[in-house]
Amino acid sequence: MVGYHFVLATLMRYLLAAKTKKLADFRCPSCKGRLVKSLPDEIMTCRKCGETFHTCFSVPILVSNTAVVNRRELPSSDFARQVAAVRSATSPATLDALRRAFALEFNFSHPVMQSESGQFLDRLRSSGGTIDEPYPTAKSDAPSQPYVNVIDKINLQAEPLCPPLPIATGTLSAFNLRMFNAGEATLSSKAETQYRLACKISPIDGDIADEGERTNLLIDLPPGRGITQPVRFRTPNVPGRYRLGVYALIEDIVWLDEICALEIDVVDEADLQEEFAWNLTDISRDYGADHSYALDLTRDWMGPPGWRKPRVLEIGGNMDPMVNELGIKAYNLDVDPYGLMAGSIFAGPDHPVTNIVGDGMNLPFPDGFFDAIMMFATFHHFPDPVALLRHLKTKLAANGQIFLMCEPIGHAFAESGYDGYVRELEHGAYEQAFMPWEYEAMIRDAGLVVAHNVMDVGSAKIALRHPPDNRLSARVKRWLTGRV
């Protein structure tokens, strides 16, 4: 009888295992519990909290509170052929899969993720493709409303991304300001009575403030929208510690209340502290050549593989992740489900790179898991880049590296002529660019150190790692917990 019950229990465990698959690599984004997959419908379920996650065309949707809706009507065959043309794919199976993939609608709870998740077709069009909307909407014949500035409904919140380092006297400089419109009215960048930003600078122990430079808004800022906006200011001619206040204003009409204040140190040029020794070059490359060079640097900086295969994650690779070129098993995480589904459909089931819809600020993986986390022209899309680096640090193995590749250098202003940059902002993408001193400050604030860097004209390539003491403690922790 005992043998009978043992055999029955073993059989039941076998049948249960046949219906579910334990996913050793994935963690629930809500509670960090392990996920199991139900094989027939490929629904992932957290063993700890019970939350479920869809898998769409081999792409797990590992973002909590995400609704996936299947529209009843498929997009047209012409639309599918337009998308497939980017890969010269013509098979009926591929076209059918694309139609069914774009029939899915994804509703994310986070507004920035929702906005970024819908950029795929716009980016294909920006690359020269002619692609219709899968579900065209009727255009309104109503005339556009004029811009109206409603002063009493403006509530602008702001904070500096990184407070400026000590600056020489009489210098025109700028810093990035993270802005959010928490009011009920749009801040117009185009109306005759457009909003601008201005700085007032006064000594710490003084009352009189000098009005400084003006900065035009990059785009209109509607309610609920945030951007990173560079702000110009000019330092006084006398060294000292100063208070810098930032204001929004309509020129010659009204100054709004101060939206941000910080303290800056102004010094003689001879007293400036030496900044981090970046490897600056005078080399400029086009987009494709720059990414190819960055990939070569990544291979070189990663070094030869160790005794086990490296665990590699790319963030923001979309349909064509650079990690594809490494020829290794890896993960590609993005917020854009359509780009990832298209990539999986084109690549086929045997491709070594696993595409995942996820939040870079909440990676669905165990701590200390990755040997390499890489981003190519992606880091600057995150509204809080310091918080991102701090989070990635927790997922990095003791000897691992974070690669920030092909990231913009400099500040983009409304009059700089960067039409593509402004167009991305207007389409809802989050764009920002950083000066070298801002990269230094963000890396320091995140508790990381620079392992390698090349700073080409307009394009930063930086590899980061744990500080030496943190690397030792991480290795000890892994040894004590039995992880390798």
Q: How confident is the model at residue 296 (pLDDT cuts 50, 70, 90)?
A: very high
Bin 99: left if φ > 0, else alpha if -120 < ψ < 50, else beta.
alpha
Q: Which of 375, 392, 435, 405 lies closest to 228 in space, CA to CA?
A: 435
Q: Give residue 73's pLDDT.
A: 94
Amino acid at 379: F
Question: Which of 235-244, 285-294, 396-405, 470-479 is least confident?
Answer: 470-479
For residue 418, what pLDDT is reported? 86
Of 22-31, 226-235, 291-300, 391-400, the least confident: 22-31
Q: HSE of 443 in the Cβ direction (CA atoms, 13 Å)?
A: 24
DSSP class of residue 61 equals B
Please state, as a whole number, how many other Cβ atoms lie within 10 Å of the Cβ of residue 56. Answer: 20
Specify the 3-state DSSP secondary structure of 6.
helix
Of the chain, the percentage scoring pLDDT greater than 90 comes to 69
pLDDT above 70 covers a percentage of the chain that reads 88
Of 376, 379, 381, 477, nearest to 424 (Cα)? 381
Domains in the chain: ranges and CATH: 1-53 (no CATH), 151-271 (2.60.40.10), 287-311+369-480 (3.40.50.150)
CB 67 within 8 A of CB 104: no
The answer to whether residues 328 and 311 touch, using CB atoms and an 8 Å cutoff, is no
Q: Find the mean pLDDT for residues 222-227.
A: 94
Output the pTM of the full model.
0.88
Q: How confident is the model at residue 273 (pLDDT cuts 50, 70, 90)?
A: confident
Question: Residue 471: which residues within 8 A CB-CB, separation 6 or more?
Answer: 398, 399, 465
Q: Is the dihedral of CA 4, 5, 10, 11 positive or negative?
A: positive
Cα–Cα dist 291/83, whole Å? 23
